[in-house]
Amino acid sequence: MLTRLFALRQWIYLPLAIVLTWPLALHLPTHLPLGAESAATVPMFNLWTLQWNADRLQALYAHYWHAPIFHDETGAFAFSDPQPLTGLLFAPIEMISGNPVLAYNLVLLLILTLNGIAAYHLLRGLDIDDISALLGGALVVGLPFVFRELGVIQLTVLFPVLFALRYLYAFTQTTTLRHAVGLGLAIGATFLTSSFYGLFLSMFLLISPLFLLRRDHFQREALRNFAVAVLIAVALLAPVVPSQARLTARFSRSTETISNNSAEAVDYLRLDTRTLGHDVAPWLQTSGGSGQRLYPGTGLLTLAIIGLISTRRTTDPRWINFLRTGIVVAVLISFGLKFNLGEWLPYQTLRDFYPGLRQMRSPFRMAVFAQLFLLIFAGYGLARLWRWRALIGRGLVVVIVTLGMTELLFLPARLHEFPSDLRDAAWVMWLAQQDAGAVAMLPLPGGGRVREFEFTVESMLQSLEHGHPLVNGYSGLFPSSYREMTGVMNNFPNQASLELLRERGVTHVVIDRTWFTDVRQERLREYASQLERVYADERTTIFRVLSTDT
pLDDT of residue 425: 95
Nearest to 308 by CA among 253, 220, 384, 218: 384
pLDDT of residue 448: 81
DSSP secondary-structure letter at 78?
G
Task: Give tens-digit pLDDT for 83-121.
Answer: 999 999 999 999 999 999 999 999 999 999 999 999 999
Q: One-letter amino acid identity for 38?
A: S
Task: Give tens-digit pLDDT for 185-218.
Answer: 999 999 999 999 999 999 999 999 999 999 999 9
Task: Give tens-digit pLDDT for 376-423.
Answer: 999 999 999 988 877 888 899 989 999 999 999 988 999 999 999 999
Mean per-residue pLDDT of the chain: 94
CB 187 within 8 A of CB 205: yes
**pLDDT at 520 exceeding the cut of 80:** yes
φ, ψ (nearest 5 deg) of residue 340 = -140, 155
pLDDT of residue 285: 87
Nearest to 93 by CA among 52, 51, 152, 31: 51
Nearest to 147 by CA among 296, 259, 281, 280: 296
pLDDT of residue 548: 74
Average pLDDT over residues 346-365: 94
**pLDDT at 2 exceeding the cut of 60:** no
**pLDDT at 492 exceeding the cut of 60:** yes
pLDDT of residue 337: 96
Task: Give tens-digit pLDDT for 225-274.
Answer: 999 999 999 999 999 999 999 999 999 999 999 999 999 999 999 999 89
pLDDT of residue 479: 95
pLDDT of residue 467: 96
In angstroms, what CA-CA distances link 296 with 123, 191, 519?
Answer: 18, 24, 53
